[in-house]
Chain A
Amino acid sequence: MTLPEPRRLPGLSARFSAQLGAFKLDVSLEVGAETLVLIGPNGSGKTSLLKLLLGALPLTQGHLIVSGRILADTDKRIALPIEERRLGYVPQDYGLFPHLSVERHLEFALTSLPRRSRPSPPAQTHQIQTMLESLQLASLRGRLPQELSGGERQRLALARALVAQPSALLLDEPLAALDAIHRREVSAFLASYLQTLTIPTLLITHDPRDLAYFSARVAVLEAGRIVQEGTWSELCEAPGSPFVAQFAEAEHPRANEPRR
């Protein structure tokens, strides 16, 4: 057991294990102001890992620090509830509120902040407007989620997650809900948008085809452990497991350099 060392660097640092029934997750992750794509087959523990970071499942041992703030530490008996972690979260299928318009989604997010960190009403309006514009939702502000296309829903989920300026962003299979026709376009937009963010971003997917869109660092999760990490081209050149070898063989996208 190592002593937890205090970290002041901006970024996400997770070193923990969690016993979930018969399944054990043992993870060590460092993510700076970049996007890390976490890939793994079904049942590898991707969604569980995201829920552990989010705080929906308890750690058995270890810690999670985001931007110098301890969100969970079993040695110090700290485990902030989800509501206090200030993590942006885009759930699978987006988890939009069916009864709230686009604009109301963002208003809900801002007015859910604790009073001391809640912006004033005019500042809220401004923040919502800026967010809507940056994600091309301004003209759709009055629409309900069921009146939006797949790509628009995804952008709304992103806007809701980001409007309150979280310290990290977690995306659970953001491309899985898209139909084949719009997948390429929406994925390209998401990839370029994530590049503009300056917070640690963790995107999980089970589909190796998604990797082609993201010029990001990739981590491979199998049976609750990260078995390999590197850029997409590095993984393809030296596959560390049959799962990686399989998709490296099947796909030959352009070798991309990780950003920064």
Chain B
Amino acid sequence: MKVRWAWLLLSAVGGLLFGFLLLPLVALLFSATGAELWQGLTDSRVQAALRLSAITTTVSLVVIVVLGTPLAWVVAASERAPARWIEAVLKLPIVVPPAVAGVALLLAFGRQGYVSRLLRLDSGLAFTSVAVVMAEVFVAAPFYLQGAIAAFRSIDEGILLAARSVGAGPFRNLIRIAVPIAGPSLLAAAATSWARALGEFGATLMFAGNMAGRTQTVPLAIYSALEVDVHTAVALGVLLLGIAIGVLLVSHFLAWPGRHASNRRGQRLSRGRKV
């Protein structure tokens, strides 16, 4: 009896947080009718923001996957101390506040930034669509890298050693063995990373600004719309929430691969035979 009460109490306390997390999302979902949503989404400024977000997050994702996969592979394969340090540094953008990231990007790539001076760029890269991509890559890449490093590390060592023993170098091992085996986990990491890029707000505002059509992504459009027209903000909010739920579902199914179901069934059968 005592135990049951204890569980009830713990559940009630925990339920407070669960309710707090869920309530705003539910409120968002039920705050607008279908017609209002449609009207909000077809607004020309919203269309421009959607287009910009689609393009910049796609470019960001390509950059992150193309550059991030080799980096994750090198870090995962190495057991030396520098690799551990690099791994720790790679997590930094996750905990650095986005506004700080925006200032840091300005200092490095802005008009007076180190890179602009080094490359003798007159205007710098800040406040352009390129800056949007850079801000997105900066905040979203660690999510892909973390997932990819973990995915590569979880590959059975015997598989990789066997591939090396027949003569497959690091490049061939990555393309032909590691990426196909880690594939579902890499996709899940890419989806999470893309979702983070899509939601990027703070660093973009600081480093790229909020110019409609050029640097105003969907989150910035929501911020601007809230002052003028709540319905547009709600419509965009519902859209992003829907996408987020979709990404969550995709990475969930990728992390629980159904393709090994037959294998697992086989194991259960053999266990049954032994008993």
Contacts and interface: CB of A to CB of B under 8 A. Distances in A.
A91 B158 contact: yes
Contact of B162 (A86, A89, A146): A89
B159 A87 contact: no
B176 A108 contact: yes
Interface in B233-275: 260, 262-263, 266, 270, 274
A157 B162 contact: yes
Given A95-B159, A146-B266, A161 B166 contact: yes
Interface of A: 51, 54, 56, 81-99, 108-109, 112-114, 146, 157, 160-161, 164, 166, 172, 179
Contact of B263 (A56, A89, A146): A146
A164 B156 CA distance: 23
A83 B158 contact: no
Given A108-B168, A113-B167, A146-B263, A160 B181 contact: no
Interface residues of B, number: 25
A95 B162 contact: yes
B176 A89 contact: no
Contacts of B263: 146
A36 to B, nearest CB: 19
Is chain A's interface secondary structure helix, strand, loop, or mixed overall?
A: loop
A186 to B, nearest CB: 15
B84 interface: no
Contact of A160 (B166, B262, B266): B166
B51 interface: no
A160 B161 contact: no
Contacts of A172: 158
Given A112-B172, A146-B266, A179-B270, A97 B165 contact: no
Contacts of A114: 167
Nearest to A157: B162
A90 B156 CA distance: 13
A157 B181 CA distance: 17
B165 A108 contact: no
B71 interface: no
Given A83-B164, A95-B158, 8 more contacts: A89-B165, A95-B161, A97-B163, A99-B181, A108-B163, A112-B163, A112-B169, A113-B167
B161 A164 contact: no
B180 interface: yes
B103 interface: no
Contact of A89 (B161, B169, B180, B266): B161
Contact of A91 (B162, B180, B181, B262): B162
